[in-house]
Amino acid sequence: MNSPHFLALSTGVPGPRYTQQEICQQFAAYQQVPERRARAMQAIFERSGVGFRHFMVPRDFYAVERSTAERNRLYMPEAISLGAEVISRLLQTSGYVPQDIDDFIVVSCTGHGTPGLDLHLAGHLQMRPDLRRASILGMGCYGAFPGLHRAAETARADRLVLVLCIELCSLHLQINDMADNVVSTALFADGAGAVLLGGERQSSRLPRMIDSATFCDYTTLDQMTFTLTDHGFQMYLSSYVPDLLSSQVRAFVDHLLENNGLSRERVRLWGIHPGSTKIVDYVQNQLDLTDEQVESSHRILYEYGNMSSVTILFVLEDLIACQHPEPGDYGVLLAFGPGLTMEAMLLQW
């Protein structure tokens, strides 16, 4: 069976960029917490591994309490603007035009609307009326993988597939000083990434998809959640998540590689979704990876934060730019999310 190929990759973020210190200070000011509590919150922010983040919400948006309706009202126009920008850049660099796209898949978990973002963007970009569309919603940080799985199946039929991942996590900032909420507030950010897949390789700079794997632990559904409330989505990331992942990730990855006649030693490039710096460190330890092999994951977390489903595309882009893959090199992408779900993809340049 033909392996689908990455034909183009593009990423983007909203304009406003804030330091982690600025976000922490603003978050504490909204709540008027005592100085001692503010110092404790700052310690959590400093340990997150995040240095900067991009937010599309106005700086004073949370000076007053915001309902879910108010938050979601911003999602569609902002997502259309950022999504169109990233897709247009992708097509321009690849030499395609919107009318060339056969299938369009949108991945997101931070906003809703009907007609959906897929229809709005297809109309905005003047894609063909016979375009096949799909929306993958609510899957969290591993959402890019189901999108890429579906795209791969379609690309094997010689169709040109566009996948857009877009998350506006800043819409769901929660103004309370509970420890679990402070952890989430210290991590999540906004961004978008787009990938074009097809049946034939056009650039040695981009890989082909060889295989993938999924594992869901149904006993841990409460360890990572994204719950709809009257005031946006409440994100929850249990402190036990790194331990849960580290206990299972080695067998999970080795099984994928063994099915393809490989071992970890033969994989040069590793893209780990940086859900947090602790998650990257735990996975690095379990897979016996070098600091260089996880450098891209740490760098993206520091420069952009955790952008949920989008983040793995930023990591892949950084791997290509900084690790300079050569023909024949293998790579593995990993992401983790609600479920507790692990996703992996085996690539080759």
**Sequence letter at residue 345:** M
Q: Residue 78: CB partners within 8 Å, gap ≥ 6?
A: 14, 56, 168
**Amino acid 54: pLDDT:** 98
Buried b (16+ CB within 10 A) or exposed e, 49-76: bbebbbbbbeeebbeeebebeebbebbb
Q: Residue 253: CB partners within 8 Å, gap ≥ 6?
A: 264, 287, 332, 334, 344
Q: Is 133 exposed, middle or buried (0-12, 13-18, 19+ CB in 10 A)?
A: middle
The alpha-carbon radius of gyration of the chain (Å, integer) is 19
Domains of the chain (ranges plus CATH)? 5-198 (3.40.47.10), 208-348 (3.40.47.10)
**Sequence letter at residue 300:** I
Q: What is the DSSP string of 231-288?
A: TEEEEEE-TTHHHHHHHHHHHHHHHHHHTTT--GGG--EEEE--S-HHHHHHHHHHHT
Q: Are 304 and 54 in contact (CB under 8 A)?
A: yes
Q: Residue 60: CB partners within 8 Å, gap ≥ 6?
A: none
Token representation of residue 271: 């893209």
Q: What is the DSSP string of 37-78?
A: HHHHHHHHHHHTS--EEE--S-TTGGGS---HHHHHHHHHHH
* Residue bearing tokens 């080759």: 348
**Amino acid 339: pLDDT:** 86
DSSP single-letter state for residue 188: B
Single out the residue of 168, 63, 153, 67 nearest to residue 117, CA to CA. 168
**Amino acid 17: pLDDT:** 96
Q: Where are the beta strands (DSSP E) in the chain?
A: 5-12, 17-19, 52-54, 103-108, 132-137, 161-168, 190-198, 208-216, 224-229, 232-237, 269-272, 330-337, 341-348
Q: How many Å separate Cα 32 from the centre of its chain?
A: 32
Q: Checking DSSP bridges between strand 103-108 and strand 161-168, what pairing results, if any?
A: parallel
First to last CA, the chain: 17
- What gap in Å lies between CA 295 and CA 269, rounded to an integer? 10
Q: Interior CA angle at 223 toward 190 and 346, to 5°? A: 65
Token representation of residue 329: 């090199």
> Does a cis peptide bond (omega within 30 degrees of 0) precede residue 115?
yes
Token representation of residue 267: 């994989």
The whole-model pTM stands at 0.96
Token representation of residue 57: 């919400």
**Amino acid 1: pLDDT:** 54
Q: Are 147 and 165 in contact (CB under 8 A)?
A: yes
Mean pLDDT by 10 residues, the chain (349 residues): 90 96 92 86 95 94 94 97 98 96 98 96 98 96 97 95 98 91 95 95 87 94 88 84 87 98 98 96 97 98 98 98 96 94 97
**Amino acid 240: pLDDT:** 75
